[in-house]
Amino acid sequence: MQTIHKTVLLAETVEALKLKAGMTVVDATLGGGGHSKLVVNKIGKSGKLIAFDQDQTAIARFKKQMKLGSLENLKTEILLVNQNFSTLKDSLTSLAINQVDAILADLGISSDQLADTDRGISFMGDAPLDMRMNMTAKLTAQEIVNEYSQAELTRVLREYGDEQYASSIARKIVEVRGQEKIGRTSQLVSIIESAVPGSYKRKKIHCATKTFQALRMETNQELESLRLFLFQAIEVLKPGGRLAIIAFHSGEDALIKNWFRENARGCICPPEFPQCRCDNKPIVKIITRKPIIASEAELEENPRARSAKLRVVEKV
């Protein structure tokens, strides 16, 4: 059960957190465990790592790595939480932890999950149209494709996939499902290919990429989970503690950027006021005025890092 995932912006993310021995750190998205392993090396045997992942397979894989690898020798206290990071505060409370020194989150999809043929996250090959990260969750991509209205499907493809042919694809999905249930990834790929012009199919990016991304994000309620996480992350951080987030999707990055800016503003009085009356204080200090992106060396080794953007704030 080895991971095939290559961790993006590994050194940059952990360095940005300014970790020291003995710190309590949250990895909100364990995934392949790359960030967590480096965190453990930084905080040492007196530190504590709490790693979240809603995917039970990721938790099980990391447990095996803990037993077989060097993590076992470091004696760091590691707590694994099989929950979505939107449960951050409640999950920490259940562990008798009220505040932490640093938090990181990598919002990218794991290569392990893309390769899992039972999930149907990838449009490569043929698999059940599932797309759940948490396999106990109720909503699946199959349900979305077969039960959402044409208008709802169009919205999802535009909002989460920025798909220019969203309306055409949604219309074709509704047409096909009127004749047969859409239950396989290969069926959906064929539908998408029949709904878009030839020039679109000849582009470098596969014509199903954006639709599959959008359906995955809707299935897992990824933007809503991120909104919930952001508020809780700052609440549980100690003053001076840092939050580092890697986003790959433009909607996610915009949400993070805007949330950081709003909470770093302080005064929200109209410009014409001679002095502040709102008494609003900044909650965070922005560390990365511009997002940190992957180096050319990393891109050569891992092209999927091209869209990764790392943003960091510090709690005031």
Q: What pTM does this model have?
A: 0.91
**Mean pLDDT confidence for 240-268:** 94
| pLDDT score at 261 | 95
**Mean pLDDT confidence for 294-310:** 93
- Mark whether 14 and 107 lie in a shared domain: yes
Kindly report the CATH number assigned to the domain that includes residue 166. Answer: 1.10.150.170
Question: Which sign, positive or negative, has the C-alpha torsion 249, 250, 253, 259?
Answer: negative
Q: Give dist(CA 165, CA 158) in Å, integer.
A: 8
Domain end position, chosen among 219, 246, 278: 219
Range of the domain at 144: 138-219
- Mark whether 145 and 275 lie in a shared domain: no
**Which tens digit of pLDDT belongs to each residue from 22-74?**
999 999 999 999 999 999 999 999 999 999 999 999 999 998 887 765 565 56
Q: Give dist(CA 215, CA 142) in Å, integer.
A: 9
- Mark whether 195 and 48 lie in a shared domain: no
Kindly report the CATH number assigned to the domain that includes residue 89. Answer: 3.40.50.150
| pLDDT score at 268 | 74
User: Mapping DSSP to helix (H, G, I), strand (E, B) and coil, where does residue 182 land?
Assistant: coil
The proportion of the chain whose per-residue pLDDT surpasses 70, expressed as a percent, equals: 96
| pLDDT of 139 above 70 | yes
**Which tens digit of pLDDT belongs to each residue from 74-107?**
678 999 999 999 999 999 999 999 999 999 999 9
- Mark whether 228 and 297 lie in a shared domain: yes
In sequence order, the 6+-apart residues with CB closer than 8 A to the CB of 23 are: 42, 43, 47, 48, 101, 102
| pLDDT score at 69 | 59
Within a domain: residue 117?
no
Other CB atoms within a 10 A radius of the CB of residue 96 amount to 6
- Mark whether 17 and 56 lie in a shared domain: yes
- Mark whether 101 and 158 lie in a shared domain: no
- Mark whether 103 and 51 lie in a shared domain: yes
Tokens (6 digits) for 144: 């979305």
Within a domain: residue 79?
yes
**Which tens digit of pLDDT belongs to each residue from 219-239?**
999 999 999 999 999 999 999
Domain count, the chain: 2
| pLDDT score at 2 | 57
Write out the E strands in 214-253.
237-247
- Mark whether 205 and 234 lie in a shared domain: no
Pairing of strands 48-52, 24-27: parallel
Within a domain: residue 131?
no
Q: Give dist(CA 242, CA 224) in Å, integer.
A: 22
